[in-house]
Amino acid sequence: MILKIAGYFRIAKPIHQEDSCPSEPQQAAFLLLTSHLKRTSTSSIPTLNVSPRVKCQSSKDLLSLSDVSPKDKTWDKHRANADRVAGYYASAGENYFNRYAQRVSSCSEWLEFRLVPELSEGLLKLKLSDAQFCRVRHCPVCQWRRSLMWKAKAYKILPKVVADYPKYRWLFITLTVRNCKIEELRTTLDWLNKAFKRLTELKVWPAKGWVKSVEVTKGRDEISAHPHLHILAMVPPSYFSHGYLSQAKWVALWQQCLRSDYQPVTYIKAIAKHHDPKVLIPEILKYQVKEPDLIADREWLLELTRQVHNTRAVAIGGVLRRYMRELEEEHQDLIGNEQETDEIDEGSLSFRWRRKLKKYKIEE
């Protein structure tokens, strides 16, 4: 019997054979997929043969989430990195970090996906419907989900802003300071944010609305931190004829606001007229700390955690506040159920994190 899900592969599975011993959820999943088969075409799709006999031997041979839906392979990567982060916290030997270790360790251990028809292709796709997230700031899974949710919201909201301010233009601004010791990150971030506030209070500050995000990368020396700000700013069309700021002027203004004795590195890019500011959303609402930087070094992560505790990652200013205030909120929907109102539910599949295998496997 050939089954197909999400347009990625077919599973050959004799569900009636006596020697096959599928567990109930598996059987349910396959029956569900079988019923779907009637409505899908089977052309030009790679085939994956899953032997039911092997499947009953160990969890290693259970269906993986990444087999069922290759695009969800990324869950394995983030979840394996979460185990590393949990391990760093656990080995720190401090109560403060032990709590984080437990929370991150039990984050998203189990995922439930609804099977939703993909109307354009007549196929089923997996849509996350239930999971328990730890919400620890530097949990790789939660950081990824938070970034996805921010982006989804911004993609939804930005067209409304563009419709309300059709002639406005958009700038992408990066404001930096010199690297600091990781132990001085908190004071450096405070300094950066105060300087940015001063910048927005200057008469020459051209933006009517902005989204500001804080990013921290690891310095090239592998010890220091490089905190910087990414800003998506909305400027009136007159900015390019009156009050235009050259690159050199931006550097001078940022230096003035930082009150630094050096010229800080500053990048300004204007989005071409009529170009959609949405192209910059991934840049603005990416991770606060890159995942490779989170898992590279235990001491750096522990100090980072102490330093950025209770600091804000994203802030919205000016007229954009009334559109995007919710991006700043602490408690976000990390599952992403909001926009699904008219989707038909075709059943569900559950997967459990198998730590040793570093894979999500179908629930036995």
Q: How far is the CB of 160 from Zn ion (least distance, A)?
A: 31
Residue 284 tokens read as 């603005």
Give 237's DSSP letter: G
Q: How far is the CB of 272 from Zn ion (least distance, A)?
A: 38
Residue 359 tokens read as 């894979």
CB nearer to Zn ion: pick between 140 and 277: 140
CB nearer to Zn ion: pick between 115 and 142: 142
Q: How far is the CB of 80 from Zn ion (least distance, A)?
A: 13
Residue 29 tokens read as 């999943």
Q: Taking a C-beta distance cutoff of 8 angstroms, is the pair 300, 218 a contact?
A: yes
For residue 317, the cross-strand partners are 210
CB nearer to Zn ion: pick between 278 and 286: 286
Q: How far is the CB of 111 from Zn ion (least distance, A)?
A: 12
Q: How far is the CB of 147 from Zn ion (least distance, A)?
A: 13
Rg (CA), the chain: 24
CB atoms closer than 10 angstroms to residue 153? 20
CB nearer to Zn ion: pick between 37 and 148: 148
Contact footprint for Zn ion (CB under 5 A): 107, 133-134, 139, 141-142
Distances (CA, A) of 192 to 32, 213, 242, 283, 311: 54, 12, 28, 19, 12
Name which of 84, 31, 19 is nearest 5 in CA terms. 31
As a whole number of angstroms, the distance between CA 88 and CA 82 comes to 10
Residue 240 tokens read as 């390019």
Q: How far is the CB of 100 from Zn ion (least distance, A)?
A: 10
CB nearer to Zn ion: pick between 36 and 138: 138
Q: How far is the CB of 214 from Zn ion (least distance, A)?
A: 20
Secondary structure (DSSP) of 64-104: BHHHH-GGGGHHHHHHHHHHHHHHHHHTT--HHHHHHHHHH
Measured on CA atoms in the order 222, 227, 232, 234, is the torsion positive or negative? negative
Residue 22 tokens read as 């599928």
Q: Which amino acid is at 116?
A: V
As a whole number of angstroms, the distance between CA 215 and CA 336 comes to 24
CB nearer to Zn ion: pick between 138 and 361: 138
CB nearer to Zn ion: pick between 87 and 318: 87
For residues 187-199, b (16+ Cβ closer than 10 Å) or e, as one string?
ebbebbbebbebb
Q: How far is the CB of 134 from Zn ion (least distance, A)?
A: 4
CB nearer to Zn ion: pick between 99 and 194: 99
Q: How far is the CB of 61 from Zn ion (least distance, A)?
A: 28
Name which of 35, 3, 32, 1 is nearest 15 in CA terms. 1
CB nearer to Zn ion: pick between 141 and 192: 141
